[in-house]
Amino acid sequence: MCRTSKSVLMSKSYSNQKMKKQFQGLFVAIFLLTGLQGLQAQTPVVIDKIIAKVDNHFILKSELEAQYQQYLQSGQGNVPTRSQLLESLIIGKVLLAKAEIDSVIVEDKRIESELNARMEQMEQQFGSTKNIVEAYGKSISSLKDELRSAIREQLTTRKMQDKITSDVKVTPKEVRKFFEAIPKDSLPYLPSEVEVGHIVRLAKVTKNQREDLIKRLLDFKKRVENNGEDFTELAKTHSEDLGSGKRGGDLGFAKRGQMVAPFEAAALKLKPNQLSGVVESEFGFHLIQMLETRGQEYHARHILLRPDYQKLDVTEPTRYLDSIRVLIQRDSLKFEQAAKLHSEDKATQDGGGMLLDPGTRSIKMALDGSMESGLYFTLDSMTVGTVSAPLPYRTEDGRTAVRLLYYKAKHPPHFANLQDDFQKLYQITLNRKKNHAIEEWFDKAKNDVFIYIADEYKDDQILKGNRNRGQ
């Protein structure tokens, strides 16, 4: 409901011991700042026990081993030790404990939105919900419950990290200093990189789907207004906004401008306890009830019904993109201009449709195994400067769509340098500085919470405040 919306430069093995330690610290920093990676299918069974505790938050042996095995299987160098990983896990739990103390809360609707997106991605990856159940040996309901808890921790941890590091900045001078500290014979050798853009058009709700959803919501409205049924109970039973649904559709107080425009415009026209007509937004179809207003805030609840995203109509967006492609090929319209005017991907629209590397925020993306497989294989069949035919696409939040891909440029493999790789070096320098800020915060915050570590996992370095900070 709210408007919310890998490659990292890793060194080869350094002969210089100081640089080894600095990049080892960087690796742990990136691990910490990335957060939990979610559930793993068919993870080897580990005899479990609690190996650390921070207030009411536990760390299990299986959790540590799963993280360690994940790094080993990634094939990356500079694998952290178990001690380093445990320390990162403990820092994460301290972030959670302090978030509770400081009342840093992630809203349920944000968690449910992330959960639904991940379940959609899993279904796309495994092919069907049946395959997911077989891979994990658990029901979809059980998987959701476990993943929901992991997502809540991840988003809360990230929110605390953002709070701690919100003022951290780096200058070009700091980036240069970091780069010049790398021994020349140890400069990372970067793979081929590409610049790719896309124009996205979302699939449309079919006429039958729209009519069915509107009919159901109008029936709920009639049952409340004419039959005296409880809106709260109807929301608990029928709303597909899982976060607010279990609270009877209650969305709490929202500031003006916080909700998507169609929802807010309809809600603010209502008097207390009045019901809206059916309101369509990017999230589905809503029946809204206003509860109260308070200055610039309002308190509403809703029943949300979503279309079946597997059965949406892609005919119109496919035709639309076909016509855009023809204009681009005739040079009657530049791709970047077309993306700004016609793309429905808000994250890339203003940037002319250019995709960004999630780790570095650079328009140059590594053309290797870190790239999303569908994109990788599509580019393999394209030549630089061309635009693809309309292709099926699933957005990050799980919606069905169609997109054009523009293969703008390809850069050959090379040793890292300031001119071509400044954005990557900037991001690494920023991550190191953020990690430094979090470690400084942790050295103080650890005294505010109870921390227990099992004897066999203690060593002379962990939690002693003498971690290498890359200075």
Tokens in use for 371?
């790239």
CA distances from 100 to 54, 56, 86, 93, 97 (A): 12, 11, 21, 11, 5
Intra-chain end-to-end CA distance of the chain, in Å: 43
Is the Cα dihedral 268, 270, 271, 272 positive or negative?
A: negative
Q: Comparing 34-43, 48-57, 158-167, 172-181, which segment has the lowest mean pLDDT?
A: 34-43
Q: What is the pLDDT of residue 212?
A: 94
Q: What is the pLDDT of residue 340?
A: 96
Pairwise CA distance, residues 344 & 201, whole Å? 5
Which residues contact residue 90 at a Cβ distance below 8 angstroms, ignoring those fewer than 6 apart? 52, 54, 59, 451, 453, 462, 463
Pick the closest to residue 310 from 126, 109, 128 (CA basis): 128
Is 287 strand, coil or helix? strand
Q: What percent of the chain has pLDDT over 70?
A: 86
Pairwise CA distance, residues 138 & 136, whole Å? 5
Tokens in use for 416?
């890292």
Contact 28, 84 (CB under 8 A): yes
The torsion defined by the Cα of 371, 372, 374 and 379, in degrees rounded to 10, comes to -20
Pairwise CA distance, residues 450 & 110, whole Å? 29
Per-residue pLDDT band at 360 (split at 50, 70, 90): confident
CA distances from 278 to 109, 218, 242, 269, 308 (A): 20, 7, 19, 13, 18
Is 115 strand, coil or helix? helix
- Helix ranges, 128-260 (H): 129-136, 140-165, 172-180, 207-225, 231-238, 242-245
Per-residue pLDDT band at 47 (split at 50, 70, 90): low
The torsion defined by the Cα of 170, 174, 176 and 181, in degrees rounded to 10, comes to -130
Edge to edge, the sheet with strand 451-453 lists 57-60, 50-54, 451-453
Pairwise CA distance, residues 419 & 66, whole Å? 38
Write the pLDDT tens digit of every residue in 213-265.
999 999 999 999 999 999 999 999 999 886 788 889 998 888 888 888 899 99
Predicted model pTM? 0.58
Residue 171 in this model has a pLDDT that exceeds 60: yes
Contacts of 224-228 with CB under 8 Å at 24 or more apart are 224/275, 224/289, 225/275
Q: What is the pLDDT of residue 82?
A: 87
Pick the closest to residue 391 from 369, 371, 407 (CA basis): 407
Q: What is the pLDDT of residue 77?
A: 62
Q: What is the pLDDT of residue 423?
A: 85
Pick the closest to residue 117 from 400, 402, 403, 404 (CA basis): 400
List of domains in the chain: 17-187+417-457 (1.10.4030.10), 192-204+312-412 (3.10.50.40), 207-310 (3.10.50.40)
Residue 39 in this model has a pLDDT that exceeds 60: no
| H or E stretch at 298 | strand 297-305
Pairwise CA distance, residues 298 & 291, whole Å? 8
Residue 42 in this model has a pLDDT that exceeds 80: no
Pick the closest to residue 357 from 424, 404, 431 (CA basis): 424
Q: What is the pLDDT of residue 166?
A: 93
The mean pLDDT of 417-441, rounded to a whole number, is 90
Instruction: Give the residue, 181 or 459, on which the prediction is more confident.
Output: 181
Instruction: Give the residue, 130 or 21, on which the prediction is more confident.
Output: 130
Q: 387: which DSSP letter?
A: B
Instruction: Give the residue, 124 or 354, on which the prediction is more confident.
Output: 354
Contact 143, 136 (CB under 8 A): yes
Write the pLDDT tens digit of every residue in 378-408.
999 999 999 999 999 988 766 789 999 999 9
The amino acid at residue 330 is R
Q: Please give the mean pLDDT across all residues of the chain.
A: 83
Q: Comparing 7-21, 198-212, 265-279, which segment has the lowest mean pLDDT?
A: 7-21
Tokens in use for 291?
């509860």
Residue 118 in this model has a pLDDT that exceeds 70: yes
Residue 147 in this model has a pLDDT that exceeds 90: no
Half-sphere exposure of 216 (CA within 13 A, CB side): 19
The mean pLDDT of 334-362, rounded to a whole number, is 91
Write the pLDDT tens digit of every residue in 71-116.
887 666 678 888 889 988 999 999 999 999 988 888 887 888 788 7
Q: What is the pLDDT of residue 124?
A: 66
Pairwise CA distance, residues 251 & 1, whole Å? 9
Tokens in use for 447?
């005294």
CA distances from 329 to 197, 231, 355, 405 (A): 15, 53, 20, 13
Q: How many CB atoms neighbour CB 270 within 10 A?
A: 17
Q: What is the pLDDT of residue 3?
A: 34
Pairwise CA distance, residues 253 & 296, whole Å? 10
